Chains A and B, each alone.
Chain A
C-alpha cells in the first residue's frame, strides 16, 4: 500500500470512463451511449469521438434497445446511466434484448450504473440503489462487477471489452479511498484478499469493503483475528481459492449496501457455501428496515439501517460470541 498516497483520489466513474475513452481512441468498434448522464471525462469522449457517442436522452428503455442494436452490428457498447435507472427502469429491455438475445447472437454490452447504495446521499431512495444486485443476479448470463476503488474501476473496461456478453458495472458515485494503489492484477479471481484472519472473514463488495476494513480494525483491537475480502465479481470468482481462504475461519460475514435477505450478496454467499458443503456459519450485514427518507451523512444513514462501522462491528462481535 506504499504508493497509495501518490494517487489523487477520484470518483471511480471518472477513472473507469478514462479507460473507456482510451479504448475508444484505440478501437473504432467501441461505442458509448448515455441516458443524459455526464461526467467531465465524458466531455472528452464527446469532443474526440463524436461519431461513437450518443445521448439518447432520459430514455432508459431506448438506451438499452439502441445499445443492443449497435452491438448486433458488431460494436462493443458501454451504456451509461444512474444505477437504479439502468437496472430497473428498463429491466425488460435488459432481459429481452441483452440477456436473452445474447444467448443466440454474440453481443458485448456493458451497463455502467453510477450511484450504488446510498452514494447519492441527499437525493433519497429514487436515486439510491439497494436492489440492483438482486435484480441483475436474476439474469443467468449477466456478469456483475462491483469495484471498491478507482484503480479497480479503471481496470474493468479492458476486461469487459475482451469478454462478450451482457455485464453490469456497479459504481459508487462518491470519491472513495484508494485500496489498490499498487495496481490490480489477477482480476479473473473475482476477489482480493485485503486482510487475513482466522476467527471471522468479512466478505464485502463496493463501498462496504471500506466499512469492513474499519470494522476489522476495531475488532482486531479487541484481540480478534478478522479477514477482509473484496468480492468485486458477483457472478464468477475462483471458488476453490475463496474456500481455502475462509476454511480456516469460524464464521463468514457478508457486507453489502443493499437490502438484507433479498437476493443480493448474502444470497449469493448462501448458495456458494451450501454448494460447497462448508457448513460454515454466516452473518449477513445489509440494509434493514426498507426504504428510508431521512437526510444525513452517508455514515449516519448507514448506522440507521445497520450497515455503518459501529453497528456492523457490534453485530459481528455478537455473532463471534455465538461461534
Chain B
C-alpha cells in the first residue's frame, strides 16, 4: 500500500512527542501506570491524528463524532497529551495530573473531555461499545465505534459475551483494537491464561480479524485501520496489534512486572536527552 509520506512523517513525530510527554507525566506523577501506557501510543496517535476519528475537541459530546472507548483505562496515560494537543483541554492541565483539583487522575474517568466511559475497571468497553454501535445502527447513523482494549483485559469474560453479541447483530460499525503487549500485571498473559491465537479466536467468534505485526509502526497500524474501514463484510472488526509493554525504556520494556514499576527520574532525563 502506498503511504502518504506527509501523514507518516506527522504520525511518527507525534508518536515520539507523545512518548516523551508520557514519560514527563510519569516523572511528575510516579503513581501512574507508565509501562502499559507506552505500548498503545502508536495506536492512539494513528487513530486520533490519522483521520480515523471524526471529533470536535470544542464539543467533546458532538453527536456526529466517532466514538472511541479507551477500555484499557490504566494504560492510557499517553492519551492525556494527545487530547490536550488536539484541544480538548489546555496543555497546562498536563502539569496537574494526579494533583488535587485536577480532572486528570491516575486512572481516567469520563470527567475528562474526550473520554466516553468509565474505564478503570476492565472488561467494560466492548459491551458498552457494542450497545453504542447497535444504537447508532438503529438510528441509521454512519458513525463508527472504536474500542481499545488490552490483551490482559480480555481475561474478563464480559468481553466474550460482547464479542458474540456484536457478531450476532452484525455490528460492522464496531472495531475492537487489542493492544497486545502480552503482559498482564503479574507476568506474561501466555503463562497466566494463554489467549493462544487471538485473531483466530475473533474469527471463530464471527469477527473479521487482522493483525499488526509491529504495533510501533504507524504505517502498519494505518494500513490495518484503512483495511478495517474498507472491509465490506457485515462483521465487526478486530485488530490485534502486537506491541511492547514499556516500549523503548530499558529495564521496563517487556519486563514481566513492568505494570507496577516506576521509572526513575534520572533514567527519564537520560531518555529525553536532558542535560544534567
Contact = CB atoms under 8 A, between A and B. Distances in A.
Contact of B157 (A31, A54, A61): A61
Determine the main DSSP class of A at the interface with B: helix
A59 interface: yes
A133 B127 CA distance: 26
Nearest to A95: B121
B157 A52 contact: no
A65 interface: yes
Interface in B155-184: 157-158, 161-162, 164-165, 169
Nearest to B115: A104
Contact of A68 (B121, B128, B165): B128
B134 A70 contact: yes
Interface stretch (B80-88, B135-143, B218-226, B266-274): B135-143
Contacts of B121: 92, 96
A57 B127 CA distance: 13
Contact of A66 (B118, B127, B136, B157): B127
B252 interface: no
Question: How many of chain A's residues touch chain B, expressed as a range?
Answer: 20 to 34
Question: How many of chain B's residues touch chain A, expressed as a range?
Answer: 20 to 34
A99 to B, nearest CB: 10
A261 interface: no
Contact of A73 (B127, B132, B169): B132
A65 B132 CA distance: 10
B72 to A, nearest CB: 15
Contacts of A67: 131
A71 B117 CA distance: 12
B251 interface: no
Contacts of B135: 31, 69-70, 72-75
A102 to B, nearest CB: 10
Nearest to B69: A69
A93 B110 contact: no
A249 interface: no
B131 A96 contact: no
B165 A62 contact: yes
Q: Which of A52, A57, A59 has the most CB of B within 10 A?
A: A59
B111 interface: yes
B118 A72 contact: no
Contacts of B158: 61-62, 65, 93
8 contacts: A52-B138, A57-B164, A59-B164, A61-B127, A65-B124, A72-B117, A74-B139, A96-B118
* 8 closest cross-chain pairs (CB), A and B: A69-B131, A65-B127, A73-B135, A62-B161, A66-B131, A69-B132, A61-B158, A59-B161
Given A70-B135, A104-B109, 6 more contacts: A31-B138, A56-B165, A59-B164, A69-B133, A72-B128, A97-B118
Interface of A: 31, 51-52, 54, 56-57, 59, 61-62, 64-75, 92-93, 96-97, 100-101, 104-105
